[in-house]
Amino acid sequence: MHLFYTPHIEGELFTLPEEESKHCTRVLRLQQGDTVHLVDGKGGLFTAIIQEAHPKRCQLQIIDKQVDYGKLPYVAQIAVAPTKNLDRMEWFVEKAVEIGISKIFFLECEHSERRNLRLDRMEKIAVSAMKQSQKGFLPLLHDMMPYQKFIMQCDAQHTFIAHLEDDATKSIRQMYKPGQPHCILIGPEGDFSKQEIQAAYEAGIKPVTLGSSRLRTETAALVACHTLHILHDICDPL
């Protein structure tokens, strides 16, 4: 299935943006009369026929629409402190979208090695991963946010902090509640500070462990994401 991302689709006729038009006609070599599919990142899956295979303005006729295509049957959120090496964080975003994630928050923590990032770059990677894995929903990516601001506005009842201190003894599986949203906080390479951990506890956030191995930030974030995915399959069977 040839899948293109177009966030704004209206009516029965649609023209692909120039970048997508070029990919459609020059890379995929699709021609007039060929069938393509479009996703809007909000669950809409559109079937279309190429009317004019122009490399700058490929015109399509929409012939069918599905709603809630690829909708996740659970809510999984990760709040993570970006790594100094952005390639590693981009890898996490790509793989998390492929597995299935609802939201990603980027945190600025006391031990953070990075204080800013290009959200537009992360969003492009998320779009590419959404298309690659043929999903219909684009996860929400939130720009860098101070740690304290995040914990004050999050849903503490369904938020958990993964850290390396001795009191993080329960696994995500032990804390998992079927049918409820879950958000896991992942700290920077130097872990959360003791003050940040205490602030999380005071806000009502509970600790979890990701196991005995010491994981890199992006690995820990992906493990948390995949664990939530597996737990849904085990605890919330269709």
pLDDT in tens, 144-187: 999 999 999 999 999 999 998 888 899 999 999 998 999 999 99
131 occurs within a structural domain? yes
The residue-averaged pLDDT of 110-123 equals: 92
Beta carbons of 143 and 115 less than 8 angstroms apart: no
Whether 21 and 126 map to the same domain: the answer is no
Dihedral, 109, 151, 130, 221 alpha carbons, nearest 10: 50
pTM above 0.75, yes or no: yes
- Quick one: 84 and 55 in the same domain? no
Please tell me the predicted confidence (pLDDT) of residue 10.
81
Q: Does 52 fall in a domain? A: yes
With respect to residue 25, please indicate whether it lies within any of the assigned structural domains: yes
Of the candidates 50, 53, 38, 42, which has an alpha carbon nearest to the alpha carbon of residue 1?
A: 38
Report residue 234's pLDDT band, with 50, 70 and 90 as the boundaries: confident
Kindly state whether residues 97 and 45 are assigned to the same domain.
no
The total of structural domains in the chain comes to 2
- Work out the end-to-end distance of the chain between its first and last CA atoms, rounded to an integer number of angstroms: 26
Are residue 132 and residue 212 in the same domain, yes or no?
Answer: yes
Q: Which of 24, 83, 124 is nearest to 219 (CA)?
A: 83
CATH number at residue 49: 2.40.240.20
Q: Are residues 212 and 161 in the same domain?
A: yes
Contact 24/17 with Cβ under 8 angstroms?
A: no
Same domain flag for 80 and 153: yes
Residue 71 maps to a domain: no
**pLDDT confidence band for 46 (50 / 70 / 90):** very high
Domain limit, last residue, from 33, 66, 99 = 66
Expressed as residue numbers, the domain containing 49 is 3-66
Mean pLDDT (the chain) is 93
Whether 63 contacts 49, CB under 8 Å: yes
Assigned token pair, 10: 């209206």
